[in-house]
């Protein structure tokens, strides 16, 4: 059974959201690893001679939250894609009203998490000039600003994708919630169908 076209568009958006979430999680994890596990977001760096050092890093849980939220949402998108590909090929691919309501709730939670993550990356990243200065110990903060900027951009794109997904799910929920009334004799559709079957009726003046 083929998927409805709205759901096919939704799955395409999920594929893009998976890529954005994976890029954001990987970029932030790489950045935190370059600082030996310390979180540079909202951290304080001190200039010692001609090199910088992260003197007051943020709590590691802050980076864990952003990377974890992005990674979990990317994993959710991947599992959802695999499920619907399997379901459309092997089993019945219809999504019931309960499943659609659950999907709406998850999309709303995802939008909140991605928005918070994007704001943390937006305001917690230092200036780009700091990337051009050597850091201590040597090898610290390699391409940290580029990685954080990529994570932020991916998060904002991910936010747009999730908002579009939510809109599509609301449209599907509205269409399923609209009751389908059977045709009656006074309806124009009834007249057109009966005219096609039996010919137009002549009016008697």
Residue 69 above 80 pLDDT? yes
User: What's the CA dihedral at 132, 137, 142, 144 to 10 degrees?
Assistant: -80
Residue 141 above 90 pLDDT? no
Helix (H, G, I), strand (E, B) or coil at 203: coil
**Across 1-5, 34-38, 60-64, least confident range:** 1-5
Rounded distance, CA 176 to CA 161, Å?
A: 23
Which of 29-33, 68-72, 187-191 holds the top average pLDDT?
68-72
Query: Hey, where are the domains in the chain?
Result: 5-177
Nearest to 172 by CA among 13, 18, 9: 9
Reported confidence tier of residue 161, pLDDT bands at 50, 70, 90: very high
**Percent residues over pLDDT 90 in the chain:** 41
pLDDT tens digits, one per residue of 108-121: 999 999 999 999 99
Stretch 160-178: mean pLDDT: 87
Residue 195 above 60 pLDDT? no
**Across 20-29, 79-88, 190-199, least confident range:** 190-199
Residue 2 above 70 pLDDT? no
So what's the pLDDT on residue 65? 95
So what's the pLDDT on residue 183? 46
CA 151 to chain centre: 13
Q: What is the mean pLDDT of the chain?
A: 83
So what's the pLDDT on residue 97? 80
| H-run or E-run covering 173 | helix 144-177
Residue 52, strand partner residues:
47, 135
So what's the pLDDT on residue 197? 47
């Amino acid at each position: 059974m083929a998927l409805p076209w709205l759901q096919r568009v939704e799955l395409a958006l999920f594929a893009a959201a998976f890529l954005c979430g994976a890029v954001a999680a990987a970029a932030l994890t790489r950045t935190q690893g370059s600082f030996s596990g310390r979180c540079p977001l909202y951290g304080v760096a001190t200039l010692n001679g001609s090199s910088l050092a992260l003197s007051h890093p943020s709590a590691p849980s802050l980076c864990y939250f952003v990377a974890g939220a992005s990674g979990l949402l990317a994993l959710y998108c991947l599992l959802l894609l695999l499920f619907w590909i399997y379901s459309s090929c092997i089993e019945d691919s219809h999504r019931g009203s309960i499943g659609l309501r659950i999907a709406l709730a998850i999309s709303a939670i995802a939008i909140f998490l991605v928005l918070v993550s994007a704001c943390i990356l937006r305001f917690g990243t230092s200036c780009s000039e700091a990337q051009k200065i050597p850091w201590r110990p040597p090898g610290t903060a390699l391409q940290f600003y580029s990685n954080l900027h990529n994570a932020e951009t991916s998060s904002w794109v991910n936010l747009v994708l999730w908002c579009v997904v939510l809109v599509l799910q609301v449209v599907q929920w509205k269409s399923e919630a609209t009751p389908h009334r059977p045709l009656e004799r006074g309806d124009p559709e009834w007249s057109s169908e009966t005219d096609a079957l039996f010919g137009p009726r002549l009016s008697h003046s």
